[in-house]
Copies of this chain bind each other. A is one copy, B any other.
Amino acid sequence: MTTMAGRATIREVADAAGVSRQTVSNSLIHPERVKGPTLERVRRVIDELGYRPSNAAQSLRSQRTGAVGFELNATGSATRNAVSFPFVLALSERAPAHNGHIVTFGTTSEHPLLSGYEDMVRSQLVDAFILADTHEGDPRPDWLDGARIPYAAFGRLWGRPELTSWADVDGAHGLRIATEHLLAQGYSTVGFLGWPAGSQVGDDRRRGWAAVHEDRSMPLGPEAMAVQDLGAATAAAGPLLDQVGRGGAIACASDMFALGVERAAAARGWRSGTDIGICGFDASVIAEIESLTSVALPLYEIADHLLGLLQDRLGGAPPPAAGLLVEPGLTIRSSSTR
């Protein structure tokens, strides 16, 4: 393949190979329609000229760009962003396998959010969107549905059971395996630190922790609640440590909470892992730096599902029958090994 600035067009390849444009096109898309020797000749020329079909021309013809939009949000909390980044990464890596690519955009004040989404579709910049950080009362799913703009969400669309274009982490399962892991490591009691009851994500995670106790006919361990803030988490962790005692463990609904538990434990001279087991949720950069065991989000599976879903919808398929819950794994580090 030669390295030259001017890109080769299908016509140049056709001329060089002594065939027509269509034969070149067929060689790439429907090779079975081209006779052996011809196919080989065309392929050699394609290789020599470094020909790649123009995405712009293909988009114009097919009325499909292959691009999926993803909004990056500056206003998200540090914790949210800690998940957003690995997720864009997963999307970007998996997109080619779905014949697409990812276009990121930020919400600047100039665009009143939703019309910005519409503009991107109207101008054929993207075919569809992937939403993250969907929250209860999020106007985007409804609005996009109304505008007939395809989308798929990372995160359950909690208030709207009829909207099924989503994939999410099975939070209950995450806390289940976290709790089971801590018990298997020999920690005496497993407490839970999460958000105040009523948060759907939080309640879901707590359910997994509680379920393990029920399965084993064990009395429920101690629990505490805090808002998503290091100070609050550390403060709430204190009493919890008293209850589980040295040799116990705490499963947390987020890495921030796990960090708080670690700080509280360190303050009383307890070493994480040895004196107290700790497990976080998200396996974010925080957990990595602090060497905290954490529930690892199955971001690649989720990215694959969402991208596949969009591809199907763009191909005319009806919405899926239901959303998809994906089971997370566990990244084990020193905070849960004695």
A217 at the interface (CB under 8 A from B): no
A295 at the interface (CB under 8 A from B): no
Interface residues of A in 26-78 (CB under 8 A from B): 50-57, 59-60, 63, 65, 67, 72, 74, 78
With known contacts A72-B88, A88-B72, A289-B78, A7–B124 Cβ distance under 8 A: yes
Tally of A interface residues using CB under 8 Å: 64
> Which of B96, B106, B230 interacts with A108 by CB under 8 Å?
B96
Cβ–Cβ contact A65 & B72, under 8 A? no
A197 at the interface (CB under 8 A from B): no
State the oligomeric state as a number of copies: 2
Interface residues of A in 104-153 (CB under 8 A from B): 104-106, 108, 110, 115, 118-119, 121-125, 146-148
- How near does chain B come to A99, taking the closest CB pair, in angstroms? 12
- Offer 5 A-B interface pairs, CB within 8 angstroms, sorted by A: A4-B148, A50-B122, A51-B122, A56-B56, A286-B286
Interface residues of A (CB under 8 A from B): 1, 3-5, 7-8, 50-57, 59-60, 63, 65, 67, 72, 74, 78, 81-82, 84-86, 88-89, 91-93, 95-96, 101-106, 108, 110, 115, 118-119, 121-125, 146-148, 230, 256, 259, 266-267, 285-286, 288-291
